[in-house]
Amino acid sequence: MSVDETEQLAPDIAARVRFDAQGLVAAVIRDAENGDILMVGYMNDVALARTLTSGRVWFWSRSRQEYWRKGDTSGHIQLVRRVRLDCDGDCLLVDAIQVGAACHTGARSCFEAGGDLPVTGLIEEAHV
């Protein structure tokens, strides 16, 4: 899919987002209904513009070097409900209605599929 001038990020929004050296910003996708974190992807200015204007979540694939819209091949789409920018401007929080699984493994969340890592340095709440 080619990029046209209508897919450019509005200048006032572009000024607020701090894209990295590769022109990307991390996007945390959260279930708008229950608050679960579903996945993390990366957006460039065009993917963010498409996300803000289309109602669907778009990403830039770092491995394939192409745009992709969540659910185009699997049918497991993400419908945008809200996009927030963090205080530093270097991370997005996208609240979306998830239709089907978010993870390519078939799990609802990519974090279910990845599993827990052992944390040995836990601090008890009473010591905080």
Give this prediction's pTM. Answer: 0.89
What's the pLDDT at 93? 98
Which residues lie closer than 8 Å to 16 by C-beta, 6 or more apart?
A: 85, 89
Q: What gap in Å lies between CA 114 and CA 40, rounded to an integer?
A: 12
Instruction: Provide the H-helix boundaries in the chain.
Output: 11-14, 45-54, 110-114
**Which residue has better confidence, 80 or 119?**
80
Torsion of CA 62, 83, 39, 91, to 10 degrees: 60
Q: Which amino acid is at 19?
A: F
Residue owning tokens 């991370």: 91
Sign of CA dihedral 103, 42, 111, 30: negative
Q: What gap in Å lies between CA 77 and CA 56, rounded to an integer?
A: 7
5-112 has CATH 3.10.20.810 classification: yes
pLDDT in tens, 53-104: 999 999 999 999 999 999 999 999 999 999 999 999 999 999 999 999 999 9
Read off the tokens for 75: 């049918």
Domain definitions of the chain by residue range: 5-112
pLDDT in tens, 13-38: 999 999 999 999 999 999 999 999 99
